[in-house]
Amino acid sequence: MGHIYQDYPVLIGDQLSCQNGQDWIESTNPATEEPIGRVPACTSEHVDMAVEAAAKAQIEWAAMSIWERGGFLKKLAAAIRERKEEIKSLEALDSGNTIGNLEGDLHKASNHFEYFAGLATEMKGDTVPASPNGLHITTREPFGVVGRIVPFNHPFMFATANLAAPLVAGNTVVLKTPETSPLSATIIAELCHKLLPPGVVNVLSGYGRPVGDRIARHPNVRRIGFTGSVGTGLAIQKAAAEICVKKITLELGGKNSLIIQDDADLQAAVSAAVAGMNFPWAGQSCGSTSRILVHESMYADAVDLAKSLLERIRIGNPLDPTSGMGPVNSAAQYERVTAHIEKGRKAGARLVTGGVRPAGSQFSKGYWIAPTLFADVEPDMHIATEEIFGPVMCFSSFSSDKEAIRLANATNYGLTASIFGADIKRTLRIAKQIRAGVIAVNSTKMHYVGMPFGGTKNSGIGGEECLEELLSYTETKALHIAL
């Protein structure tokens, strides 16, 4: 039985509803361009209602013990696992992400609730011997209402995982879903409506203006977390700063380099580079290994091997568990990625494979781009420095460690980097000189529970997935007691 077009709700206070008298945002299947559902296009007035509901609920939520709050989060984790097949199907249909690879996103989403629930006792203060006749201690308290703004590439995972830390810390949340691929996040709205006290989590759909902008500017939202593009992150900082002082964390884009040294296992390194490119999400992940720097002695072989691996990727229906890559997320994203590809061609980079719509009638509609590989990419080319956020890999050569480090640092991004080589001392010397928030040696895996994930430079502010994230949703209060 096929998917039935339907209206999906927003959650404001205790009201889970599609009927708020506003316009609609229609979501389409990126594989077929067929409409599959719609969500309310909320307004700034809906943001105000959600913030009011969140502020009202926050008093009782913060007054609960950490064990009570943790218990609610564990119930959410269990409910996500119960509905995981439904969530995976809806997200694959709505986003183009391949269903066979969404298990990890759902695993991370549910595990985050349990991880942060268990981490709650680490929200500790300090006792400082600041005077001989007093007791000087610090405590941690929640901000109040937190705004979270979610991107389109991992919509359910980000919508859920990003709730865990602020809720455990005693905050309530107003969450905005992405403008494209908003449907799967409505399931967390349903679960929060069912399992949490009213107003603790509010889920809004809508455009960046007015919804995202109003969240950034609202004077009662003093803490904001955003995942998305650099441009939007800068806009959030600017909008927030015009109203009052807010704490903002940003997990933004990346132009992530993977360095293959002359003593590396070439097969393992190139295979890891292709896997790290996140083709099941059509390359639309901020940590994708989009820039491959190879020692000149191995460069030609590396390009040939990568070409072979890319051409083996099975492009197909995102709902087919055997598909290795689906379409990019939307018409706007398709135009953006193809424009980057055209810039690469015009700049003189060598297009080795891909760069076009795949052959076959099944790809005549939808936002399909074959896995793409550019070689001989010069460091000053647009595709060498700008995040493409699509299924495009760029290969360049280097002749020395010094040159590899220079090339790796030659962008305004600093999210992740990978280094492959047999000499561990040499690779660690290189790692120390690369400006990135996360670096992997002989691997492309960047997400480990308890380790911070976040960038430097234009890739963002703050680390997530760790104690640092939990503490960032608290403020420190100093208490001085005269004895």
Q: Return the structure tokens found at 217.
A: 């500017």
440, β-bridge pairs: 418
Phi then psi for residue 307, to 5 deg, are -60, -45
The rounded distance, in Å, linking the Cα atoms of 210 and 51 is: 14
**286 included as an active-site residue:** yes
DSSP per-residue string spanning 408-467: HT-SSEESEEEEE-S-HHHHHHHHHHS--SEEEES------TTS-B--EETTEES-BSSH
Backbone φ/ψ region at 376: left (φ over 0), alpha (ψ -120 to 50), beta: left
| Tokens matching residue 337 | 């990625």
Write the CB contacts of 21 (distance below 8 Å, at least 6 apart in sequence): none
What is the C-alpha separation between 222 and 117, in angstroms, rounded?
23
The alpha-carbon radius of gyration of the chain (Å, integer) is 23
Q: Where are the alpha helices (DSSP H) in 34-154?
A: 44-63, 66-82, 84-95, 103-119
Cis peptide before 210 (omega within 30 of 0): yes
291 in helix, strand or coil?
Answer: strand
Chain centroid to CA 300: 33
Cα 172 from Cα 75, distance rounded (Å): 17
**b/e string for 446-458 if b means 16 or more Cβ within 10 A?**
beeeeeebbbebb
How far is C-alpha 305 from the geometric centre of its chain's CA atoms?
A: 29
Catalytic residue among 192, 286, 394, 466: 286
Taking the alpha carbons of 433, 434, 439, 442 in that order, is the dihedral positive or negative?
A: negative
Tell me whether residue 74 is exposed, middle or buried, using C-beta atoms within 10 angstroms of its C-beta: 0 to 12, 13 to 18, 19 or more. middle
Concerning whether 251 is annotated as a catalytic residue, the answer is: yes
Q: Are 232 and 208 in contact (CB under 8 A)?
A: yes
By the 8 A CB rule, do 453 and 438 touch? yes
Q: Which of 91, 179, 251, 464 is catalytic?
A: 251
Closest to 102 in 3D by CA, of 281, 368, 312: 281
Whether 254 contacts 197, CB under 8 Å: no
Report, as residue numbers or ranges, the catalytic residues.
251, 286
